[in-house]
Structure 1
Amino acid sequence: MGASTIWSRTDIANQILSGDHLIIYRNHLLRISPSWLDAHPGGTLALLHFVGRDATDEVDAYHSDATIKMVERFSIGRVELSQRGWDPLTPPVMSGWVRTVDGDGKPQWYHEAEAIRTHEHNNNNLPSSEILLVDKNLALSSSSGPTLATITPPPSPLSLEVQAKHSKAYKELHKRISDAGLYQTPYLTGYGPEVLRYSLLAGLSAYTYAHDWLIPSAVLLGLFWHQLAFTAHDLGHMGVTHVWAIDRLLAIFIADFLGGLSIGWWVQNHNVHHLVTNHPSHDPDIAHIPFFAISTTFFSSLWSSYYKRIMPFDRFSKFLISFQHKLFYIIMMFGRFNLYANSYTFLYQKAWDSKRARGGRWAWWLEILAVGLFWTWYTYVLYGCGSWPKAIVYLLVSHAITSPLHVQIVLSHFSMSTEDLGPVESFPHRQMRTTTDVICDDAVAFLHGGLHLQVTHHLFPRLPRHNLRKASKLVKEFAKEECLVYAEFGFIRGNCDVIGVLREVADQVKIIGQVADAEVAEVVNKLHKNSGPDPNTILNCR
């Protein structure tokens, strides 16, 4: 079929079931080849989550104009639209189906997880459109691949017409922001003061360290890492020079060499988080079992499509989660160690991956070198503390100081909705439903790196961070016109809301434990009553 072919929804569904990765963009049907799926700089899952869906808003939000010009090269025709626009299909990955290669090198379907649909399990706690993933061994399935029923979305409480209206308005908003020049990076006024701040923190940390003032040095180093994370974030989004190679090189220097974290891991993780924000089975940024659960849906031992493993709600998880609201800030103090673990797991896996993403080979080797150099200079710093106790204190203090960054990140999502409203939901609707801003005074905005304006950032991830405040005014006008909620709260209230959510889930764990204990006690009592000698037997013995 050529580029002039008109594809019906039925034809597209059949091709997807045959193994093609088809995505709609501006009425074009794009076929994503296996080679590009593996080479996509944003990661494979960023594409798989939009198979059978209209990804126009997401593609425009995440790609520069130069990249978008190349998108239509993947077009194999146009789509047949109804009066309501494109009626989406459910991507196979969201129902636990992915394409793999067998021993002979032939592609085949692999069922990595079992999908739980509300109407099948009669769970009134979930919206009708909810699809969660659990261990595939919990349900028997004889299918060798997904079926039409698999990729047909469950009923959604949302109107396709209304979501199409939101999408159209978002496109107009995007044009207004672009025409206002907000994609132009303010190098001098934006990054100028930040470079001075970074240099001051690094210099003061080195100065205090040289004078054996180890605690102040550790605090200043932690603040240095805290501030650097914001620029690394911008570079990962291609929000500085907007040139992939340049932004990636700068990001490796800042994130890997100065901070010890893999920018490659962060980009893939963060892109998925942005695209399926707050989805219990798919968003890695809320997959924190056994330490945190922000929804009772995690009690089902969900499958993570990002981590490719079950998130077990076992005895250990129940114990920790029952106290999660009390452990929150303590665990956040050690959040950076979790980032190390995820970074190095990613780099290790990529070492055996022959299908690395674009620029993957040189970028991977450069990351390995940069991380090695980080641990070389940081180990030298620890060794210079003079003793192991001092080195351990320096290690813990320098890492604990970065914890406000981790707290800030979760404030924008932990208290927001974790419901899955299905593929019908538009990009702007999902981002505004699952994300909130943290209100702060301009004088202390640098402490948040400008990323307290998360709603606008989620709608326009490539937008230079220093332009988010101007753009947020336009976004608020958009929200008012479209009757969407622009959520925002102060830092203190945000913390209270998150702690409240954690406490509510913790209370549910305790209730489950009390019910289980009561059921066990009831069984034991019955056994005790039934285990006594039969009176008739006693009488006969006499």
Structure 2
Amino acid sequence: MRSCDFAVILTNTLSFLDIRIFEREELSKSLQAYKDGNQDEKKYMTIDNKVYDITDFIPDHPGGEQVISTHIGKDATDVFHAMHPESAYEMLANCYVGDLAPEKSNVQRTKAQQNSKAFAQEIRDLRDKLQAEGYFEGSTLFYIYKVLSTLAICATGLTMLYFGGHSTAVVFGAAVVVGLFWQQCGWLAHDFGHHQVSNDHDKNDLLVIFLGCFCQGFSLSWWKNKHNTHHASTNVSGHDPDIDTAPILLWDEFATANFYGSLEDNPGRISRFIAEHVLPYQSRYYFFILGFARFSWALQSLSYSFNQGALNKSARINWMERSMLVSHWVLFTAWNILFVGSITNMIMFFVVSQAVTGYALAFVFAMNHNGMPVITQEQAEDMEFYEIQVITGRAVSLSPLGDWFFGGLNYQIEHHVFPDMPRHSLPKVKPMIKSICKKYNIHYHDTGMIQGTIEVLKTLDVVQRLCEKFSKKVF
């Protein structure tokens, strides 16, 4: 039985309750009330033409409050099916309050909207077909190999320190190796976090805690809160946290206008200095700050875990996260102190390993979506989920070594269309997605690594010129 069929059966069993038909205008009012900050209004969303009251459920959403809030008053059908395990369908049924009224026959859609709907339906049909053919089944052998080979990278780096910690050259090499290990741990934690490997939610989380929290030093809850929202509202201004990098970097005209607009009345000295003398030169310091990305995310993870707690409110997960994060830094520091021969080399090992991971992670992340179209929340409301995923993503064609370095995220469009599909299936699905995009004239952007980097830098250059203009206007 398909999960969506199970959900239908569950919701139909509740028909004896106070179930009613919801007009579409009522959903629009729910969205507008949320935008206006009216906390007293009911918060609804629709999935498969059924209406769910999520007012009381939002704080308890296992994926975080932020991600579910991006779809208040909207149709969340595709994003729900793409990002939830089977266990979520029974929980969903508890919020069921009625059915969505049929769309009025006199509703006029533009050709673009009609095309987007037809495209989305074909992607849904493809998903059903691929599920039946086993494309969503993770290969146990593949992931055993990936876990063991990744841990072998760590063992290599630590062995280098153990036997050669007295040599500056060996310590430097070990720092590079450990940095690559952390990057590869990130890709594996990402796979397990998306439930690509197993249908067992708890097993996936345990592997994320081991690979992400203990091995890499990143909090499971911090990552899920951020990453789930990114998938639900990819490159949507004001919703996607991955493009909300002000005041370090600005990626689009919306973020630029918001940032400089916030400084018009009472700018602080630091904010004004950044606005006038830093952001107008962001393409020049872009590569420099990538090296700090890993350490910044690690600090954010610690802060989130000890201040916010576990995303699913589980005391057990919270304890495990915190203990693993602390263990990561204790063991990393102890190995550095015990086996590196001098203070200078200890500092070098710390700095180089952090910087290598920062570059290795952030370079891939930037290639995924930065420099691609950023859309407003209003535009997103008129677009189908699958179209947004395609037009905001950048596919990067690489060699097998490049695929390894990118952790399969160079198949970014396929990953965003089918986030729970294991990475070893993505290359097989790429031609299918491209073919459907071509059929409906949906832009599928496929490029090389060098060209993708140039596109990112060109975007930074365009926005920094805009920053210069805003700076003159505001100050």
Deviation per CA, 1:256-305, whole angstroms, max 9, x where unpaired?
Answer: 111111011001100111111112312111111122111132233359xx
> In structure 1, what is the equivalent of residue 126 of structure 2?
173
Q: Secondary structure at 1:314's aligned position in 2?
A: helix
Deviation per CA, 1:16-74, whole angstroms, max 9, x where unpaired?
Answer: 7552221111111111241x322212111221111111111111101123433543342
- 1:16-27 matched pairs, under 5 angstroms: 17=33, 18-27=40-49
1:206 aligned to 2:153? no
1:429 aligned to 2:382? no
- 1:525-536 matched pairs, under 5 angstroms: none
Q: Secondary structure at 2:73's aligned position in 1?
A: coil
> In structure 1, what is the equivalent of residue 145 of structure 2?
193
TM-score of the two chains, using structure 1 as the length reference: 0.75
Alignment match of 2:97 (pick from 76, 79, 88): 76
CA contact 1:324–1:506 (8 Å) conserved in 2: yes
- 1:255-274 matched pairs, under 5 angstroms: 255-274=212-231
Task: Report the number of matched residues.
Answer: 437
Distance, in Å, in 1 between the alignment partners of 2:352 and 2:447 is 29
Residue 451 of structure 1 deviates from its aligned partner by 1.1
> In structure 2, what is the equivalent of residue 474 of structure 1?
432
Give me the CA root mean square deviation: 2.6
Structure with the greater alpha carbon radius of gyration: 1
Structure 1 residues 313 and 441, CA, compared in 2 at 3 Å: closer, same or farther? same
- 1:14-413 matched pairs, under 5 angstroms: 17=33, 18-34=40-56, 36-83=57-104, 159-188=112-141, 190-211=142-163, 212=165, 213-302=170-259, 314-351=272-309, 357-358=311-312, 360-384=314-338, 385-402=340-357, 403-413=359-369
CA contact 1:281–1:302 (8 Å) conserved in 2: no
Q: Secondary structure at 1:6's aligned position in 2?
A: strand
Q: Secondary structure at 1:240's aligned position in 2?
A: coil
CA contact 1:85–1:164 (8 Å) conserved in 2: no
CA contact 1:432–1:486 (8 Å) conserved in 2: yes
Residue 381 of structure 1 deviates from its aligned partner by 2.1
Q: Secondary structure at 2:99's aligned position in 1?
A: strand
1:417 aligned to 2:373? yes
CA contact 2:210–2:324 (8 Å) conserved in 1: yes
CA contact 2:208–2:220 (8 Å) conserved in 1: yes
Structure 1 residues 222 and 33, CA, compared in 2 at 3 Å: closer, same or farther? same
1:441 aligned to 2:399? yes
Structure 1 residues 172 and 494, CA, compared in 2 at 3 Å: closer, same or farther? same
Structure 1 residues 515 and 38, CA, compared in 2 at 3 Å: closer, same or farther? closer
Residue 196 of structure 1 deviates from its aligned partner by 3.6
Distance, in Å, in 1 between the alignment partners of 2:146 and 2:305 is 29
Deviation per CA, 1:85-114, whole angstroms, max 9, x where unpaired?
Answer: 999xxxxxxxxxxxxxxxxxxxxxxxxxxx
Q: Secondary structure at 2:278's aligned position in 1?
A: helix
CA contact 1:438–1:452 (8 Å) conserved in 2: yes
Q: Which amino acid aligns with 1:396?
A: V
TM-score of the two chains, using structure 2 as the length reference: 0.85
Identity of aligned residues (%): 24
Structure 1 residues 502 and 254, CA, compared in 2 at 3 Å: closer, same or farther? same
Residue 9 of structure 1 deviates from its aligned partner by 2.2
More helix, by proportion: 2
Higher relative contact order (CA 8 A, sep 6+): 2
CA contact 2:408–2:423 (8 Å) conserved in 1: yes
